[in-house]
Amino acid sequence: MDFGALAETLANLTWRETLIAVIAMLVLYVLVVFFRMQRLKRAKEVVRVAESAAALSAVAAYAAEQAPELPPEPPARVEPEFAWNEPPPEIPGQQMIDALERNVSILRGEVGTLRAELSQMREALQRELSHTRVTQNVSPIYGDAMQMAMQGHDATTISQHCGIARAEAELVVALVRNRHDGNQA
C-alpha cells in the first residue's frame, strides 16, 4: 500500500466521511475492550475453581490426619419446669372479654333500632313541618280554615266555624287539595 495515496485520500475526506470513520473506530475499540473483559472474567473463574479445589483437598487431608472420633452424643434434653413456648391454658379475664363482646353486640343492635326510629320520626316531623309552613304562608285570618281543610272538613263546615264566606271556604279547600295533589305527584 502506498502511503502517499493514503495521505492524499485522507486529505480529501469531507467532514461527514471523517465523522463516520471516527464512529467506526470507536465501535471497534468498544468491541476489543468487551472481549478483553470477557477473557478476564473467565480467568478469574478458573482461579476461583482452583482455589476452592485446593481448599477442599486441604480440608480433606486435615480430616484424614485427625483420629476419627465418634461425635459426642447430644446432651439429654431436659424439659424446663415451665414450657415457655406453649400458651397458658386460659387467658386471664377471658370470661369478662366474652361478656363485653356480647354487650357490644347487643348495643350495636339497639343503636341500629334507634337509628331506624329516628329516621321515621324525622320523616314524620318533616311532613308536619311542611303542613305548618303551608298554614304560615296563608293570612292569619285563614289559618284556622287551612287547618280544618287539611283535616278534611268540607267548605260549609269551615265557613260556619271560621266566619268566612262559603266561596272563600271552597277556595281554601281547593288550595289544600291542589297542594296535596302536587306533593303526591
pLDDT, tens digit, 9 for 90 and up, residues 53-62 = 666 676 666 6
Q: What is the CA radius of gyration of the chain?
A: 53
Q: Say if CB 176 and CB 147 are below 8 A apart.
A: no
Residues near 162 by Cβ (< 8 Å), separated by ≥ 6?
A: 142, 144, 145, 148, 169
Span 137-180, pLDDT tens digits: 656 667 888 888 889 999 999 999 888 899 999 998 998 888 87
Residues near 44 by Cβ (< 8 Å), separated by ≥ 6?
A: none
* Positions of the chain with pLDDT under 70: 1, 47, 49-50, 53-56, 58-89, 133-141, 183-185
- Number of helices followed by number of strands (H, E) in the chain: 6, 0
Q: Is 179 exposed, middle or buried (0-12, 13-18, 19+ CB in 10 A)?
A: middle
Q: Say if CB 180 and CB 169 are below 8 A apart.
A: no
Amino acid at 43: A
Q: What pLDDT, on the 0 to 100 scale, is given for residue 75?
A: 66
Q: From residue 120, give the alpha-carbon distance in Å to each of 113, 116, 124, 178.
A: 11, 6, 6, 26
Q: Is 150 exposed, middle or buried (0-12, 13-18, 19+ CB in 10 A)?
A: middle
Tell me the C-alpha distance between 23 and 64, whole Å. 62
Q: What pLDDT, on the 0 to 100 scale, is given for residue 57?
A: 72
DSSP H or E run through 180:
helix 166-184
Q: Provide the residue ranges of all domains of the chain, joining segments of one domain with +.
A: 3-65, 138-185
Q: What pLDDT, on the 0 to 100 scale, is given for residue 24?
A: 94
